[in-house]
Amino acid sequence: MATTAPTVFVIGGTGAQGIPVIQGLVHDNAYKVRVLTRDPTSARSKTLQALGDVELVKGTFANEDTLHQGFRGCEYAFVNIDGFNSGEKTEMYWAIRAYEIALEEGVKFFVYGNLDYAYKKSGYDPRVRAGHYDGKGRIGEWILQQTKTNGRRMGAALFTTGPYIEMAISAGTIMTPTIEDGVVVWKVPLGEGAVAHVALDDCAHYVRWLFDHQDESNGMDLEVAIDHITYHNIAAAFTKVTGKPAKCIDLSLEDYWKHGPVASVPRGMPAGYNSVAGDPATMSFRDNFTGFWNIWRLSGGNRGVVQRDYALLDRIHPNRIRSVEQWLRLEDEKGRKTGRGGIWEQVQNLQPVLKISEDGRKGLL
């Protein structure tokens, strides 16, 4: 007797991470997906609908009636709130309400799109205070605490990512490269550190695994990455794959804000574009991303603030991407097949990967 595929309500489905996650859920008809979107007519919404087994719900996560409508009748949920829409304070409130309303509506398993609580992991070092990381990290811990009392009613897991490797070759990010005298140049304030970059295509497998293996994943914080990657690694791999010269210029934080890819961002602009300027609970863009870069400056070699269990990731995803060179080769091949050109051509015509950049909010994530 045929069984009906369970439905997953997705918040953040039209974002860079949400699209591959939904592709991973519906590609074999194992799950149906209901996606919250502010604009059902957008190109990203239409891309999702074309996958099949995808229903769109118009609205915003900052509305209780919409959340009730979205969660109602769904067995599962994947919630990844855009912290650069809401800002840290508002994201925390609505993430809590999303969890509570999902529980109220009878959702059986809740996966939360998370980031490292780096401030706590560092021993509350003020240098690594980054609102969009800490806001998610606090709520992630709170959600796992709830499983101790609510776990039989609604299981939960965290999906903890990091900066997408795609951001290193796309427009409108804090690590967007330039081409100077024919050389691809990344200007970043990384020092001896490294970034635990994540490949978006791998997100499809990891989130699917969380839903497919709930007996193991319930209460789990699945922290993922390709590897701890330096931008000298990226430049060397770029040259190896394309034959074109590339380099990393390691800047001080002071020089990064003067000469880096987001130097034009106004000094006091809030990190969340719907935050109120001057709200003391809202970090500025500059303070937020100073903390962000300090996280990675203090995470070199998988021995610092942010660490990953790569042996666990190998078990969960045996075919995961394991190096920046492998990712570049795959992306080069994909680009040629889809008409975007190889990596060298893509860098000469940078396109946004983040929805916030695609929507025209340049310099924001």
Looking at the fold, whether 71 and 137 belong to one and the same domain comes out as: yes
Looking at the fold, whether 157 and 185 belong to one and the same domain comes out as: no
Q: Which domain holds residue 248?
A: 165-195+227-305+322-358
Please report whether residue 314 resides in a domain: no
Say if residue 1's pLDDT is above 70: no
> How distant, in Å, are the alpha carbons of 17, 114, 190 from that of 133?
16, 8, 18
Looking at the fold, whether 126 and 33 belong to one and the same domain comes out as: yes
Q: What is the CATH number of the domain that holds 11?
A: 3.40.50.720
User: 178: which strand partners?
Assistant: 185
Q: What is the CATH number of the domain that holds 281?
A: 3.90.25.10
Please report whether residue 122 resides in a domain: yes
At residue 207, φ and ψ (nearest 5 deg) are: -70, -40
Looking at the fold, whether 334 and 350 belong to one and the same domain comes out as: yes
Report CA Rg, the chain.
20
* Structure-block tokens of residue 209: 């695994």
Please report whether residue 16 resides in a domain: yes
Place of tokens 């106004």: 266
Looking at the fold, whether 105 and 188 belong to one and the same domain comes out as: no
What is the 3 state secondary structure string of 255-273?
HHHHHCCCCCCCCCCECCC
For the ranges 144-158, 205-219, 269-283, 315-329, which has the lowest average pLDDT? 269-283
Please report whether residue 2 resides in a domain: no
Place of tokens 């490797």: 165
Encode pLDDT of 138-185 as tens digits. Answer: 999 999 999 989 988 999 999 999 999 999 999 999 999 999 999 999
Helix axes 88-104, 131-150, angle to 10 degrees: 20
Say if residue 269's pLDDT is above 80: yes
pLDDT band at 188 (very low <50, low <70, confident <90, very high): very high
CA distance 132 to 89: 9
CA distance 233 to 228: 10
Supply the DSSP string of 216-250, one letter for each residue. Answer: HHTT-EEE--SEEE-HHHHHHHHHHHH---EEEEE
- The pLDDT, as a whole number, for residue 267 is 83
Looking at the fold, whether 137 and 53 belong to one and the same domain comes out as: yes
Looking at the fold, whether 212 and 88 belong to one and the same domain comes out as: yes
Please report whether residue 310 resides in a domain: no
Say if residue 195's pLDDT is above 80: yes
Please report whether residue 65 resides in a domain: yes
Looking at the fold, whether 207 and 291 belong to one and the same domain comes out as: no
Place of tokens 């980054």: 130
- The pLDDT, as a whole number, for residue 199 is 98
- Number of domains observed in the structure of the chain: 2
Please report whether residue 334 resides in a domain: yes
Say if residue 282's pLDDT is above 90: no
Say if residue 364's pLDDT is above 50: no
Looking at the fold, whether 274 and 292 belong to one and the same domain comes out as: yes
Mean pLDDT of the chain: 93
Please report whether residue 363 resides in a domain: no
CA distance 318 to 194: 23
Q: If we measure between CA atoms, which residue out of 13, 143, 118 comes closest to residue 74?
A: 13
- The pLDDT, as a whole number, for residue 149 is 92
